[in-house]
Amino acid sequence: MKTESEPEPEAAKSEGAGAVKASLTSRKAHLTVSRVEPWSVMKFSFVVALVCFIILFVAVAVIYATLSMLGVFDELTNMIGALLEGDGAEDELGLNPAAWFSPGRVLGYTGVIGALNVVLLTALSTVGAMLYNLVADLVGGVDVTLSEAE
């Protein structure tokens, strides 16, 4: 245990000064991204697209539930029904506006659009990685400078 009256050894002083000096200067590395693995890009983009799909589906479900509780879909159905009424005859066009806003239909379309989005984002990201590799072979890639954080 060190007390205030004891002087620091000379080696500890020089180490402390060097450690402070080394921490003030940051090292930098200049690297080139010359190739991106399409398989890793495909896996990464699939996971990101899947997470976005889940977020989209939950958001649509919450918004649908909120609007349904507020009675928006009932009013829309009534309004569309009133607009489609003809001269008093039974539904001439055979349309059922209530079915348009059913939870199964809304969430079903959300699921289909989300699944297509997952497939397209994954495919486009993979093709983009392959195109990057082709262009990087021609021009040498992207130069990146990395610096060490304190």
- The structural domains of the chain, with segments of one domain joined by +, span 31-145
Per-position pLDDT tens, the chain of length 150? 444 444 555 555 555 555 555 555 678 889 888 899 999 999 999 999 999 999 999 999 999 999 999 999 889 888 887 887 755 555 556 677 778 888 899 999 999 999 999 999 999 999 999 999 999 999 988 899 988 877
- At residue 4, the pLDDT reads 46
Side chain identity, residue 66: T
CB 92 within 8 A of CB 86: yes
- At residue 113, the pLDDT reads 96
- At residue 95, the pLDDT reads 72
Give the position of tokens 């060190």: 2
- At residue 98, the pLDDT reads 76
- At residue 97, the pLDDT reads 75
Spatial CB neighbours of 129, under 8 Å, sequence gap ≥ 6? 36, 37, 38, 41, 42
Helix (H, G, I), strand (E, B) or coil at 96: coil
Element (H, E) at 143: strand 142-147
- At residue 83, the pLDDT reads 80
d(CA 80, CA 101): 12
